[in-house]
Amino acid sequence: MHEPLKIHTTLSRAERESLVQAILRSVGLPDAHLDLYPHELSGGQQRRVGLARILTLRPRMIILDEPTSGLDVSVQASVLKLFRSLQETFALTYLFISHDLAVVRSMCRRLAVMYLGKLVEVGETAAVFEKPRHPYTQSLLAAVPRIGSRRVTLEFTLPGEPPNPRDVPSGCRFRTRCPLAKEVCAAEEPPLRSVGGRLVACHFA
């Protein structure tokens, strides 16, 4: 935590010391944690230290790549709560990358769905969950298990495996698995275009 401050600021050792302590406290870790080794911290505490290290230089934007993976659900909830409170305190913007749709729904205002390295749908999170417009987004949301639901939705179940990213299909990358694919989908790559207040890359959206 001291290292970036040494490189990027002219703070004295004592000033760095007190800043590091303040930032550790802001992520919910008491000063005693300064003397611990990584293996002495729990998974949730390690995420907090990671966040504290990022915050020392006061970034305006943080890219969080699967920040809750490997954490159990209760620790996950406390880490997400911490992200929200730090966002307010430090006026942060997050780019939040996750495969966990429940976490995405609770954390993100805007949502961008990717398939094989390309954006297929971008919009307000609530609107996308309410009415997904791209077939891939529809299949993702249909695959989310619902407590109490007896029905399994087969309408958007995807066949096969994702293609090799080094040998992507012609036209629309999703066409080999899309239940709505037509000839044009193999011939032309659909552009990301505005459809009903959001961006969708599908010829038939």
Structural element, H or E, at residue 183: helix 183-187
**Residue 97 Cβ vs ligand SF4, minimum distance, rounded to whole Å:** 22
Tell me: does residue 203 bind ligand SF4 (CB under 6 A): yes
**Residue 165 Cβ vs ligand SF4, minimum distance, rounded to whole Å:** 17
Q: Which of residues 117-146 bind ligand SF4 (CB under 6 A)?
A: 135
Are 200 and 134 contacting, i.e. CB atoms less than 8 angstroms apart? Answer: yes
Q: Which of 52, 78, 199 is nearest to 132 (CA)?
A: 199
**Residue 127 Cβ vs ligand SF4, minimum distance, rounded to whole Å:** 19
Distance of CA 115 to the CA centre of its chain: 14
Copy the structure tokens of residue 155.
Answer: 């309408």
Tell me: does residue 71 bind ligand SF4 (CB under 6 A): no
Tell me: does residue 204 bind ligand SF4 (CB under 6 A): yes
Q: Report how far residue 51's alpha carbon sits from residue 134's, in angstroms, rounded to the nearest whole number.
A: 34
**Residue 146 Cβ vs ligand SF4, minimum distance, rounded to whole Å:** 24
Helical spans, DSSP H, in 61-149: 73-89, 101-107, 125-130, 135-142
Q: What letter represents residue 90's amino acid?
A: F
Selected binder of ligand SF4 within 185, 187, 193, 199 (CB under 6 A) = 185
Tell me: does residue 156 bind ligand SF4 (CB under 6 A): no
- Residue range at the interface with ligand SF4 (CB under 6 A); choices 9-17, 49-57, 74-82, 175-183: 175-183
- Residue range at the interface with ligand SF4 (CB under 6 A); choices 19-27, 29-37, 87-95, 196-204: 196-204
- Location of structure tokens 């800043």: 19
Tell me: does residue 181 bind ligand SF4 (CB under 6 A): yes
Tell me: does residue 178 bind ligand SF4 (CB under 6 A): yes
Torsion of CA 88, 90, 93, 97, to 10 degrees: -90
Torsion of CA 64, 168, 111, 61, to 10 degrees: 30
Report the residue number, 76 or 138, with the smaller CB distance to ligand SF4. Answer: 138
Binding site for ligand SF4 (CB under 6 A): 135, 172, 174-175, 178, 180-181, 185, 190, 202-204
